[in-house]
Amino acid sequence: MSNKKIGIMGGTFNPIHNAHLYMAEQAREQFHLDRVIFIPSGFSYFKQGMEIPDGSIRYQLVKKAVESNPYFTVSRIEIDRPGDTYTIETLEQLSDMYPGDDLYFIMGADSVNSLDKWVRFTDILEICTILAAVRNDTDEKTLVKKIEELKSIVPSADIRMIRTGRLDISSTMIREKIHNKQSVRYLLPEECLEYIVMNNLYAEDNQISLNSDDVKIY
């Protein structure tokens, strides 16, 4: 029986949006992944000082976003882990859960550019294959240069590029648009938007409504 190829898509997902989903689907297709596990972060040391919804809320958003794709699942392993969240600990836990299977860590080029600042980043490069996509304010030339730099530190590192085109959607953009009463339709799954509206996330009390003529986010 051959090893399974498991994609890992981690992040704050505050909120998850269509660029996350498209990047994961392109990684799955281009690298023939058997499944992709989405892992909302717990308490990230990178996000200290930021106001972020509880992990259970972000888990529900991701769950709603991926439930229509039979190749996508969502895990609570980081949310349920006490203390700071470190990617290497998640990868080691997944390696124990899926012995013999190959892990593919999916991330944006912006994350690759800061990877050498992550805790035990050399171990990350040794335990999994990195699949990187150009998005937002990064470009392919910068990404290639960073990949070469990381491989000079860890020669065995396997870092590959996902061909997606530019993905100029961000969670920050969505939060700002909701706060400013602007439309975010088609930026994230409608099931997620419904959940955001019903739970009044990213907005002041009673600021958003599914049917409001003044608030055209849905």
- Co-location of 208 and 160 in the same domain: no
pLDDT of residue 214: 40
Q: How many domains does the chain have?
A: 2
- Co-location of 201 and 105 in the same domain: no
- Co-location of 82 and 111 in the same domain: yes
- What number is the average pLDDT over the span 23-31? 97
Which H or E run includes 95?
A: helix 87-97
- Co-location of 177 and 155 in the same domain: no
To which residue do tokens 């998005």 refer?
135
Closest to 159 measured CA to CA, from 118, 107, 120: 107
Average pLDDT, the chain: 89
Q: Which residues have C-beta within 8 Å of that of residue 96, sequence separation ≥ 6?
A: none
pLDDT of residue 218: 44
- Co-location of 87 and 176 in the same domain: no
Question: CA triplet 17, 98, 133: central angle to 5 degrees?
Answer: 35
- Co-location of 78 and 26 in the same domain: yes
pLDDT one-digit tens code per residue, 154-199: 999 999 999 988 778 999 999 999 999 899 999 999 999 999 999 9
pLDDT at 1 over 80: no
Burial of 111 by CB count in 10 Å (0-12 exposed, 13-18 middle, 19+ buried)? Answer: buried
Distance between CA atoms of 88 and 21, rounded to whole angstroms?
A: 23
Residue 105 — pLDDT band, cuts 50, 70, 90? very high
Q: Which residues have C-beta within 8 Å of that of residue 153, sequence separation ≥ 6?
A: 116, 122, 125
Tell me the C-alpha to C-alpha distance, in Å, between residue 14 and each of 91, 156, 216.
21, 33, 20
117-124 LR contacts (CB < 8 Å, sep 24+): 118/86, 118/87, 118/88, 119/45, 119/86, 119/87, 119/88, 120/86, 120/88, 121/88, 122/153, 122/154, 123/88, 124/87, 124/88, 124/91
Domain CATH for 123: 3.40.50.620
Provide the domain limits for residue 196: 170-218
pLDDT of residue 205: 56
Residue 213 — pLDDT band, cuts 50, 70, 90? very low
Residue 24 — pLDDT band, cuts 50, 70, 90? very high
Stronger pLDDT, 20 or 46, i.e. the higher one = 20
- Co-location of 99 and 178 in the same domain: no
From 126, 143, 168, the end of a domain falls on 168
pLDDT at 16 over 60: yes
- Co-location of 84 and 188 in the same domain: no
Distance between CA atoms of 74 and 143, rounded to whole angstroms?
A: 28
- pTM for the complete prediction? 0.90
- Co-location of 150 and 178 in the same domain: no
Tell me the C-alpha to C-alpha distance, in Å, between residue 36 and each of 42, 66, 68, 115, 190.
19, 10, 13, 21, 21
- Co-location of 189 and 94 in the same domain: no
Q: CB neighbours (10 Å) of residue 57?
A: 16
Residue 207 — pLDDT band, cuts 50, 70, 90? low
- Co-location of 197 and 156 in the same domain: no
Residue 83 — pLDDT band, cuts 50, 70, 90? confident
Stronger pLDDT, 157 or 136, i.e. the higher one = 157
pLDDT at 116 over 80: yes
Question: CA triplet 78, 81, 86: central angle to 5 degrees?
Answer: 60
- Co-location of 105 and 37 in the same domain: yes
pLDDT at 62 over 60: yes
